[in-house]
């Protein structure tokens, strides 16, 4: 008989957790480098848009386990750096001068979701937890965008613009590892989830000869889960940076961001077998508590970004 321990983790609910080890992710703070290339074309009220983004972790974080070890297991992986890449294409449309609506498709690889924290099973007297390496797994997203921009002439310097982005993002992907028996509890290999993104921001345009010279910006971005997990705010970003306008069409920028993710329990935790996880009798009070585990694990990162941006206006001069 294995000894049951009571472990305190960040819980959304109250009550004891009957487990040998908490399933809460070992979400270590980290540092990323980020590069973005963005191009936008204006033709009358239409603004076709393309962006590609590559983000890489500064150093190997190992194959993190809840106990800090890095032993390789049948489903485990050696040390790796998370590498996230995406390409987005679509278009905005100016409904009125202050209001734009847009629709986009995004293809990405290397995204991390809450279901990517799994276990290979019960090995040598302990559970073996780790993040799946998703660097080669594709995600697909449709994005709807409504953006409001407003000049704020009452602020000192006059050239201040407030921007408010509202986005709905529907993402789907497939990962057969979710459905494998060696995953701690099985869940569907096909995942679809929707979130709402709110991004208020403030920009200041430093003009030179009546043309933009440097643009400073401060932004906050909040991601709210609409149909998954037990927590609504699941991700946030705070940005500060600037663009140097090399020409009217080309700008180069640098920014620093503070990112934060909140990980709630994966779908597979609901399917864990009580005899394996908790050593309890199916249907007992301990079994119910084991299957009802809820947690929130927080991960933070600094992200240093560099951006190259190109804008072209092909609107006919009347």
Model confidence pLDDT, tens digit, residues 168-226: 999 999 998 888 766 677 788 999 999 999 999 999 999 988 888 999 999 999 999 99
Strand partners, 173: 191
Amino acid 19: pLDDT: 35
Cα–Cα nearest to 155, from 201, 204, 200, 199: 204
Kindly tell me if the per-residue pLDDT of 305 is higher than 90.
Answer: yes
* Mean local confidence (pLDDT), 92-109: 97
Residue of 251 and 7 predicted with greater confidence: 251
Distance CA 51, CA 64 (A): 32
Torsion angle of C-alpha atoms 10, 15, 21, 24, degrees rounded to 10 = -30
Residues 6 or more apart in contact with residue 156 via CB below 8 angstroms = none
Residue of 80 and 138 predicted with greater confidence: 138
Amino acid 2: pLDDT: 28
- CA 185 to each of CA 53, 63, 203, 272: distance values in angstroms, whole numbers, following the listed order: 34, 20, 48, 4
| 5-9+22-313 under CATH 3.90.1170.50, yes or no | no
* Mean local confidence (pLDDT), 236-264: 96
Amino acid 26: pLDDT: 63
pTM for the model: 0.85
Residue of 10 and 136 predicted with greater confidence: 136
Kindly tell me if the per-residue pLDDT of 313 is higher than 70.
Answer: yes
**How much of the chain exceeds pLDDT 70, in percent?**
75
- CB 206 within 8 Å of CB 215: yes
Strand, helix or coil at 296?
strand
Amino acid 276: pLDDT: 60
Domain regions of the chain by residue span: 5-9+22-313
Question: 74-79 long-range contacts, Cβ below 8 Å, gap at least 24?
Answer: 74/120, 74/121, 74/123, 74/182, 75/118, 75/119, 75/120, 75/121, 75/128, 75/130, 75/177, 75/180, 75/182, 75/183, 76/120, 76/128, 76/130, 77/130, 77/132, 77/133
Amino acid 78: pLDDT: 58
Distance CA 220, CA 93 (A): 23
The whole-chain average pLDDT of the chain stands at: 82
Distance CA 288, CA 164 (A): 44
Amino acid 291: pLDDT: 63
Distance CA 303, CA 47 (A): 28
Amino acid 118: pLDDT: 77
Strand partners, 270: none
Kindly tell me if the per-residue pLDDT of 121 is higher than 80.
Answer: no
| Helix boundaries (H) for 99-180 | none
Which string of DSSP letters, residue by residue, matches 39-70?
EEEEBTTEEEEEEEEEEEESS---S--TTS--
Strand, helix or coil at 271?
helix
- Confidence class of residue 259 from pLDDT cuts 50, 70 and 90? very high
Kindly tell me if the per-residue pLDDT of 130 is higher than 70.
Answer: yes
Amino acid 165: pLDDT: 98
Distance CA 161, CA 148 (A): 10
Q: Tens digits of per-residue pLDDT, 148-180? A: 999 998 888 889 999 999 999 999 999 988 887
Amino acid 27: pLDDT: 65
Cα–Cα nearest to 81, from 56, 106, 103, 104: 56
Q: Tens digits of per-residue pLDDT, 19-59? A: 334 566 766 788 999 999 999 999 999 999 999 999 999 87
Q: What does the block give as tokens for 209? A: 């000869």
* Mean local confidence (pLDDT), 108-133: 76
């Amino acid at each position: 008989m294995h000894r049951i321990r009571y472990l305190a983790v960040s819980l959304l609910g109250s009550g004891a957790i009957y487990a040998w080890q908490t399933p809460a992710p070992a979400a270590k703070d980290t540092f990323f480098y980020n590069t973005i290339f963005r191009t936008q074309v204006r033709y009358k009220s239409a603004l076709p848009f393309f962006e590609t983004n590559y983000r890489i972790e500064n150093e190997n974080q190992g194959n993190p386990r809840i106990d800090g070890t890095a032993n390789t297991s049948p489903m485990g992986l050696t040390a790796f750096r998370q590498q996230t890449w995406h390409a987005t294409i679509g278009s905005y449309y100016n409904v009125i001068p202050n209001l734009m609506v847009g629709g986009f498709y995004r293809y990405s690889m290397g995204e991390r979701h809450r279901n990517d924290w799994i276990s290979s099973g019960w090995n040598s007297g302990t559970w073996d937890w780790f993040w799946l390496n998703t660097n080669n797994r594709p995600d697909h997203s449709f994005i709807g965008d409504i953006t409001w921009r407003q000049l704020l002439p009452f602020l000192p310097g006059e050239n201040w613009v407030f921007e408010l982005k509202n986005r709905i993002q529907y993402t789907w992907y497939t990962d057969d590892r979710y459905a494998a028996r060696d995953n701690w509890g099985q869940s569907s290999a096909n995942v679809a989830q929707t979130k709402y993104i709110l991004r208020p921001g403030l920009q200041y345009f430093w003009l030179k000869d009546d043309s933009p010279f440097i643009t400073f910006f401060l932004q906050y971005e909040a991601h709210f889960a609409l149909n998954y997990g037990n927590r609504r705010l699941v991700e946030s970003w705070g940005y500060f940076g600037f663009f140097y306008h090399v020409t009217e069409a080309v700008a180069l920028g640098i920014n620093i961001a503070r990112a934060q993710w909140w990980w709630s329990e994966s779908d597979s935790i609901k399917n864990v077998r009580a005899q394996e996880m908790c050593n309890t009798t199916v249907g007992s009070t301990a079994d119910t508590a084991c299957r009802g585990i809820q947690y929130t694990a927080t991960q933070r990162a600094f992200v240093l970004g560099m951006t190259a941006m190109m804008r072209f206006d092909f609107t006919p001069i009347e």
